[in-house]
Structure 1
Amino acid sequence: MKDNETTGSPSGEKIPVAMIGLGPLAGHMLGALARCPAVRVVGIADRDAQRAQLLGRDIDAPHYTDNRQLLMGTRPAAVFLATPPMAAVEIMETCASLGIHVWKDAPLGRNLGEAASMVRRFADAGLKLAVGTQRRFVETYQRAHELRARLGQTFLGRAEYFFNWGSELGWRADAHSAGGGALLELGYHPIDLLVWMLGLPEEVYGLSTRAEPSGDALAETGRACGPHDTDDTASALLRYKYDAIATVSVSRISGPVSEMLALRGQDGSLVASGESCTLRNPNGDVLDHIQPEVRAQDIAARQVESFIDAVASEADSCQCSAMENLMTHAVIEAIYLSSQTCQPESPLRQLEIHGLRPADNHNQAPRFHTR
């Protein structure tokens, strides 16, 4: 959808929005909000007063260091939330009590229980809650989703994401604050792609590990990562119906940044990344290939437009809804559990533990049990 096609509110008035949490994501998201004709940014907030002031000046919006003051003083209809996980729960609770829709940067919660609680809270309030699974808005992955039917019966998948975060982990070093490490923060995106493409797996078997830098890395950087109880690397095997399998591997201590998704079926194969998407027949001949210019600001704009259109509409759900994201959370929860039990675990069972009824079609969002 083009910027000028965003609908805005039914009355034609601009929708008041705010952004809380002005970290690395903020620049592109704020730029997208400032360019979206359907909204007006009524305020932004961050604990870093100087950063809030600078970004507020850039988009000509009031800035705050107190989240509650922002919410109570400006009363936005929607909030874009990109704070560290341990700070998000209280803000989301406040938004729900004030009748404010929320778009939240991934992951939705620190664990499946926390995520399910938030989904229930917003559903009970009749509010929309979406998650920033931005790969679903990247043209190359969208093309892969469109082409996957041409593979016939898919029998093998692979997704990976590698990134060197460096030695300064901050809150990411603490499991209580972060909820998890590489599997939760980085793995959320490739696992979400696999769920989007293949649905919910029947069971998973996985391992997650912590590793200190090697002697060479220590000599090069002059320091090692400090004490931390979150995982640096994780890998898992996912088993689907009809004997399909997929693997996912992630690490935050290995550069350069790279990510990819590969699917293989009876009638061909697909390989996609953030830069390209290629469909081949079983012999390896190229049937379809795109390599578009992918810009972060365009991806941010698509997410903003999608969520604002959902807020303005009377539809029950929205694209990348939090309810749908519970499937991704369930896979991650099962992988962490498998790493502890050393045996396969069921994402379906994890959903049931938290009062969720799996959909008959494993590509659809689960539902809460009737109380």
Structure 2
Amino acid sequence: MPHSPTSPQPSAEARRPAPDRGRTLLGPALALVHTGQAPTRSALTSALDVTRATAGAVSAELEALGLITVDSSPAGGGRGRPSHRLAVDPSGPVVIAAQIHADGLSIALAGLGGRLEEPVHLPLPAATDPVRMLRAVALAGAELARASTRRCLGAALALPNPVTEPDGAALAALHFAWPSGTPVADLFAEQLRRADLGPRARTPLPSTVANDANLAALAEHRHGAGRGARHLLLVTSGHRGVGGALVIDGRLHTGSAGLAMEVGHLTVDPQGRPCPCGNRGCLNSETDPEALFAAAGRRPDPDRPLLDQARELARAAAADPQARAAVDHVTDRLGLGLAGLVNILNPDRIVLSGLHRDLLAAAPERLAAVVADRCLWGRSGRVPIVAAELAHAGLVGAAELAWEPCLHDPQAVAADRVG
């Protein structure tokens, strides 16, 4: 796997004269347009700390590479010379973004700017061993790439389990009983090599894998509710289990081997529900969709997506006393976990995604009160707790990972056309 992605920052080279200065600025400039921080050439000039002429040359080069558009009609409204609008090119290249859930697969093509095309959602294959699972993902992604008129530059996969760096091996893949250390990155790359990606894809297609919560945090930090946060904590519950991630100064904190922030295995009730990890009362087993149904004394419909049903149950709390009691119970457990994380990590913003987003909507004051009461700093140190904004944050985050080579060196990637 590549290093942990970072928020766009002008490099040191961007601030010193050099014969190839324009090329060294292409990556930082593209990243600024990609994240919406440079919607105009004037904003790009300021963010890169360069002259208008240099910003104009850089934006023109990115436009020539087919990555952004430069609108020659000026964007007015301010004093001085109006500036030209910059945007990612809607007909520019794409990457394959994929995500494996506990009960299904999601695949989409994604352009720059966090823009997903309509995702395809598929059931798990009948056999969920690593090879057949990854083959299903690769074939679905290849079908989308063949049908598109846009160049495909890479692929990335979000996994619901820890992923080691830099080798991309899956550890504790509890949902599917994969052997610990399964070389997912290598297997995914092999399945993509075998797939028919069509004539517009890079060959071989670069690919990588990462933990889904990490990728969701990266997506929210760049394109969603985490924008502007310096120390962002994301906690999420998807179809089963709980994940978490931390972004510090724009960089994912993944630890020495990519395994940091397994917040789902923080104990919040020693006498609580059993967790697949072998312990009891983990945040993982106390605040996910199954825990909410258990607290309500109800069983979900096995023929419908579990997360969708859990969200409906959380929304029913306003009128259903049984649902209200279940939401309060699970919210209290979530608050205990968040308070412990706040005491250790001291984030300046918490983003809740998946089912936790619905619990926040159903019991915002209760959740905030539990966190404040159990936090060392109490109410005086209350951390903003906000809802995630992105509909498919795991897929958007996977796209971010796939786009990293292009954001690092747009000219090199664009020069490597296809075939």
TM-score (norm. length: structure 1): 0.35
**Which structure has more RCO (C-alpha within 8 Å, separation ≥ 6)?**
1
TM-score (norm. length: structure 2): 0.32
**Which one has the bigger strand percentage?**
1
Greater Rg, structure 1 or structure 2? 2
